[in-house]
Amino acid sequence: MTVSDTDAERLPIALRTEALESILVERGLVDPKVMDGFIKNYEENVGPMNGAKVVAKAWVDPEYKARLLAEGTSAIAELGFKGPQGEHIVVLEQTPGTHHVVCCTLCSCYPWPVLGLPPAWYKDPAYRSRMVREPRKLLSEMGLDLADDVDVQVWDSVSEVRDMVLPERPAGTEDLAEEELAALVTRDAMVGVAKVAPPS
Amino acid sequence: MDTVADMGGMQNFGSVSLTPPDDPPFHEEWERRAFAMALLSMRLSGTNLNSFRHALDRQHPIDYFAFGYYGRWLKMAENLLTDSSIIAPGAVEARARRLRGEDVDEPPPPEPNKPDYAPTAAGSIRQVDHPPKFAVGERVRARDIHPPGHTRLTRYVRGRTGEVRMIQPAMVLPDTHAHFQGENPQYVYAVAFDSAELWGPDAEPFTLSIDLSESYLEAVA
């Protein structure tokens, strides 16, 4: 093997990060305020609450749902969600007989405009390695047991196409308004590792 | 390159634990800074998203795992900035040692040497003036090739036969774009593989779909 950084004394990664920022700021190459704004945007504005609005609208508006399944990117942009990692979004509809689940075996490709930055488990080597090989077993370990007759569809999103799952609307939500429905929708359901639970 | 980043189908990584729905994207301040600098490093180094990914993939396998997710991003930013001579080799280590009080010399900033390249448009989608080579429903084989540089053709589908499920927009080819050797825009196809074709007759029954560039595919006679 070639020499890795592991062979030398390993500097703490937080210190390494501070060192790089200090060099780039000193030379005027990055502005810490720009970085702050960038970080804040992904902590506060871009996250699964965006995707939840898309899902809730699709549940109450059949015409919107048809547009969403036909042309995901433009239908999602109708609600104002677009940007990096969202150039072309395909929406996959869960049905009683078909279950979709999304992964990225090569890195952590994820539809940022609708789901934000990926959670730790999505980036975990165990998730990346196993979802394309034993999805039923892995989903079961993650708390989702699928019946034997369900058609399991795994999507390895390794190009610039991004996939988002449209979960099934849970029973007992007929009287809920769109905003109340959005509050039920979780990130995990929009990746396909969970279902949307009925209101408790 | 066949690297450790290509994990599909590898075994022995253990179980996956779901995180709470409100789990924040960052857990430590340095992760926030590393994330932002990594994205900014693309512009600063005059590179692109594909070279960004390649700089993640080509880290030493021990580092790849030891640094963790945002640690890899930081190293990737350092690699892109060093490759384009925005920062000198060893500059980050020297600064880090000074920050913790050691008296070490820092290398002077080098003369920038960015790649001689400019994208023809923003993003990855491009218009091409020819029709897709393959049709929905057509049987195709993922080529059994081992590109020396960056690729998004995963090992676990190479040589396997599937069916075109969707024709996606034409996009730049990561394999050449990552190395500033041209955009080579081409259609991308969602190709569906039966699990038994990938993992043998004892595999769980399911369908695996993956987006593959046109030049990753060949027609099945």
Q: What pLDDT sits at residue B17?
A: 86
Min Cα distance A138 → chain B (Å) is: 8
Binned at pLDDT 50, 70 and 90, residue A195 comes out as: very high
Q: What pLDDT sits at residue A33?
A: 95
pTM as predicted: 0.96
Q: What pLDDT sits at residue B18?
A: 87
Report the distance separating Cα B46 and Cα B145, nearest Å.
29
pLDDT at B16 over 90: yes
Q: What pLDDT sits at residue B153?
A: 98
Q: What pLDDT sits at residue A8?
A: 53
Q: Do A124 and B16 touch (CB under 8 A)?
A: yes
Place of tokens 């769980």: B204
Report yes or no: A98 at the B interface, CB cutoff 8 Å: no
Min Cα distance A179 → chain B (Å) is: 18
Q: What pLDDT sits at residue A200?
A: 80
Report the distance separating Cα B72 and Cα B66, nearest Å.
9
A-chain residue closest to B29, CA distance: A14
* Helices then strands, each counted (H, E), chain A: 11, 4
Sign of the C-alpha dihedral computed for residues B22, B28, B29 and B33 taken in this order? negative
Binned at pLDDT 50, 70 and 90, residue A82 comes out as: very high
pLDDT at B28 over 90: yes
Q: What pLDDT sits at residue A1?
A: 40
Report the distance separating Cα B16 and Cα A121, nearest Å.
6
B78, B124, B209 ranked by CB distance to A20: nearest: B78
* Angle, helix A13-26 to helix B68-83, in steps of 10 degrees: 40
How much of chain B, in percent, has pLDDT values that exceed 90? 95
B-chain residue closest to A108, CA distance: B69
Mean pLDDT value of segment B141-159 = 98
How much of chain A, in percent, has pLDDT values that exceed 90? 94
Binned at pLDDT 50, 70 and 90, residue A7 comes out as: very low
Q: Give me the residues of B, 93-122, that contact A with CB < 8 A.
A: 93, 95-97, 99-100, 109
Report the distance separating Cα B83 and Cα A155, nearest Å.
34
Residues in chain A closer than 8 A to B75 (CB atoms) = 5
Three-state SS at A156: strand
Mean pLDDT value of segment B135-144 = 98
The answer to ipTM > 0.90 is yes
Question: C-alpha angle with apex A66: A60 to A69, nearest 5 degrees?
Answer: 110
pLDDT in tens, A33-79: 999 999 999 999 999 999 999 999 999 999 999 999 999 999 999 99
Mean pLDDT value of segment A13-17 = 96
Structure letter (DSSP) for residue A6: G
Q: What pLDDT sits at residue B145?
A: 97
Q: What pLDDT sits at residue B22?
A: 82
- Which residues lie across from A187 on neighbouring strands? none
pLDDT in tens, A85-136: 999 999 999 999 999 999 999 999 999 999 999 999 999 999 999 999 999 9
Structure letter (DSSP) for residue B161: E
Q: Which of B153, B141, B188 is nearest to B3 (CA)?
A: B153
Token pair for residue A143? Answer: 């708390």
A103 a catalytic residue: no
Q: How far is CA A161 from the centre of its chain?
A: 13
